[in-house]
Structure 1
Amino acid sequence: MARPEQVLVLDPPEELRFRGPFTDVVTATLRLTNPSHRNVCFKVKTTAPRRYCVRPNSGVIDTGTSVNVSVMLQPFEYDPNDRSRHKFMVMSMLAPENMTDMEQVWREARPEELMDSRLRCTFEMPPDNSSEGDTKPLSSSSASPSVKSEASALPKSSSSLDDGEAKKILEECKRLQSEVQRLRDENKQIWERDGVRRRNIGQSSVSSSSSAGGALHEDSMMGWILCVVFFIVGIIVGRVFL
């Protein structure tokens, strides 16, 4: 004797789709609706009970109401070449009046009272994000010419001097050293001429006056040299740290 037609309305009616990645639990929802005038008992079975967790897997649906069944696929290593052969079956029967023990009702049910619907499982992987050109990050090599020209036009950091500037600074320092040495030599020659004049004249007053004048001339000359050196060093330091 053929079984009666399924009284429950299933959504989806034929297929449960599970969308990856499957590194975590993936849930599909099955909605069962009872449009009949009597309460209906239901039970959900699968060909792979170790791979799925179903909540609720059985119960009673009152007339004119619906129940959402969560089908949770456990994590696994997905193989695109392995087509899923897992199936689910929703069994149902009209609930007897004054039902107290649903398990006993299922055990005592006659085959002609049972109704069932079968659903297959389908696994889907999301599209590869790397194939979407719109979301591909812009690499440095693909930058537009205008961006490159603007970047090259930016001034370099003044804290790093190139070889030409360093060479100029060294040459300036050598020139200052030569200038200081030249002034020292001139001052020494003046001091020697004053000493010869003191010995020729032999006057103590002139000697003391020449000594003071030579010392004053040397002090003023050295002060001028130090001012020039400090001025040049200040310019160099300013160019390095600005």
Structure 2
Amino acid sequence: MEILEGRMDLLSVNPKLLTFYAPYDRCQKRKLTLLNPNDRQVLFKIKSNASQHYHVSPSSGSIEPYCFSDISISLNNFDFHEDLEQKHNFCIQSMYAPRDYINGETTLAIFQRVSRSDISSKSIFVRLEAKPFSAPNLRLDLLSSLGKIPMERDTQLCPNCPNSLEAPQQQEKPMKSCHFTKLVIIGSFLGVVFTSYMHRKQIHEMLVNNLYGDKLEP
């Protein structure tokens, strides 16, 4: 689930749902990845409706074009009750870096001075499981991740990605060319040796005919 507000999304966020498991008497960490598919720098800020229970690092910053940023979200020890409904969520705000950027101005200060119409918002919800993490859940998560791989590979966020994918093929060409060059050199060397041998043989026959040819005639 996700709630979209304001203008179109500037960042792609993964995963769409953060899940934590019992027991909640210890710190649990999750990773949130923010990707910038735009050709401009994007600023972001992350807020939570239960900030007293979570630590977000970094909670704000900038992402260069076609790059990503990994966000660490830690759930601290808190008193969890299964019979109480916990509606935790994170709001990710993003905006294009302004062209009138003031040197030394922080990301939070920029968000405070710009118009709300320039800010895009996306909500990521939290699921709190009453039961501990189990192996079947791991298999389901893995299958879900594998199912998303083809779609993610089709989306090229970085212009340099095709070059990196073609690199192994480009490396094979010099190796084939090197083997072909060696064969050409060896063949040329054998040809020179054979030609030299034939020339020497012809010269030897000519000398023999000149020296003994007259004596052999009747």
Give the alignment of 1:60-209 within 5 angstroms: 60-97=62-99, 99=101, 100=103, 101=105, 102-124=107-129, 125-126=131-132
Tell me the equivalent position of 2:15.
Answer: 12
Tell me the CA shift for residue 73 of structure 1. 0.8
Tell me the CA shift for residue 96 of structure 1. 1.6
Normalising by structure 2, we get a TM-score of: 0.54
Across the two proteins, how many residue pairs are aligned to each other? 127
Given that 2:28 and 2:74 are in contact with CA atoms closer than 8 Å, whether structure 1 keeps it comes out as: yes
Instruction: Return structure 1 stretches of 4+ with deviation > 6 angstroms.
Output: none
- Greater relative contact order (CA < 8 Å, ≥ 6 in sequence): 2
Tell me the equivalent position of 2:172.
Answer: none
Given that 2:45 and 2:108 are in contact with CA atoms closer than 8 Å, whether structure 1 keeps it comes out as: no
Other structure's SS at 2:26 match: coil
Unaligned runs of 5+ in 1: 130-242
Tell me the equivalent position of 2:60.
Answer: 58
- Assess, with a 3 A threshold, how the Cα gap between structure 1 residues 87 and 126 changes in structure 2: closer, same or farther: same
Q: Which amino acid aligns with 1:4?
A: R
Tell me the CA shift for residue 127 of structure 1. 6.0
Taking the aligned partners of 1:42 and 1:121, their CA distance within structure 2 comes to 19
CA RMSD of aligned residues (A): 2.0
- Assess, with a 3 A threshold, how the Cα gap between structure 1 residues 85 and 18 changes in structure 2: closer, same or farther: same
Q: Which amino acid aligns with 2:132?
A: P
- Assess, with a 3 A threshold, how the Cα gap between structure 1 residues 39 and 81 changes in structure 2: closer, same or farther: same
Given that 2:22 and 2:133 are in contact with CA atoms closer than 8 Å, whether structure 1 keeps it comes out as: no
Deviations for 1:211-236, whole angstroms, at most 9, x for unmatched residues? xxxxxxxxxxxxxxxxxxxxxxxxxx
Deviations for 1:135-171, whole angstroms, at most 9, x for unmatched residues? xxxxxxxxxxxxxxxxxxxxxxxxxxxxxxxxxxxxx
Unaligned runs of 5+ in 2: 136-218
Other structure's SS at 2:6 match: coil
Taking the aligned partners of 2:108 and 2:134, their CA distance within structure 1 comes to 47
- Assess, with a 3 A threshold, how the Cα gap between structure 1 residues 4 and 128 changes in structure 2: closer, same or farther: closer
- Assess, with a 3 A threshold, how the Cα gap between structure 1 residues 113 and 77 changes in structure 2: closer, same or farther: same
Taking the aligned partners of 2:19 and 2:134, their CA distance within structure 1 comes to 19
Identity across the alignment (%) = 25
Taking the aligned partners of 2:134 and 2:32, their CA distance within structure 1 comes to 28
